[in-house]
Amino acid sequence: MNCPFCECFDTKVVDSRPTEEGQVIRRRRECSKCKKRFTTYEKIEEIPIMIVKKDGNREVYNRNKILNGIIRACEKRPVSVKTIEAIVDDIEKCLYNTMEKEIKSTFIGQLVMDALKKLDEVSYVRFASVYRQFKDINTFMEELTKMLHEKK
């Protein structure tokens, strides 16, 4: 690490401590030449994920979109915000673990539906009706019938 004062390359770490819930490490450094101290921050480099929409457009991954969609599906249901946030955390981990820079929105939608199906059937059907764009009552009934058969 270069000293910002004299540009010397020889600096040593005097103190290190985690900040921001352990996501960043704050380091106090001292230059061996001019003896001045300065602070640096070390953070894991996150690879930005691009979401490929059904129409082929791409947009930067936005956690809040998933969170808001699940909150809407779980509205007036016995599902806590803590549980919803845990679902979003799990989905996010899954996305980053793929190590892909571009992920199809259909993959994310399926992850959400799988999580909601295990959690609350009504929330699942609400989300599925929007996500799969049920066109009429027949498509809605097909999904319900499929769920009933899976339950047996």
- Count the domains in the chain: 2
**Are 32 and 63 in the same domain?**
no
Q: Compute how many other C-beta atoms are within 10 angstroms of the C-beta atom of residue 65.
A: 13
Q: What CA–CA distance (Å, rounded) separates 98 from 102?
A: 10
Angstrom distances, CA of residue 87 to CA of 82, 109, 113, 115, 119: 9, 13, 11, 7, 10
**Are 57 and 91 in the same domain?**
yes
Question: Whole-model pTM?
Answer: 0.64
Of 102, 45, 95, the residue nearest 66 (C-alpha): 95
Residue 22 placed within a domain: yes
Residue 3 placed within a domain: no
**Are 147 and 78 in the same domain?**
yes
Residue 5 placed within a domain: no
pLDDT at 129: 79
Residue 2 placed within a domain: no
pLDDT at 116: 92
**Are 38 and 86 in the same domain?**
no
pLDDT at 20: 66
pLDDT at 11: 94
**Are 57 and 101 in the same domain?**
yes
**Are 80 and 136 in the same domain?**
yes
**Are 131 and 84 in the same domain?**
yes
**Are 37 and 54 in the same domain?**
no
Q: What CA–CA distance (Å, rounded) separates 115 from 113?
A: 5
Residue 1 placed within a domain: no
Query: Which residue range is the domain that position 138 belongs to?
Result: 50-151
pLDDT averaged per 10 residues in sequence order, the chain, 152 residues: 92 88 87 95 82 94 94 92 93 90 93 92 85 71 77 71
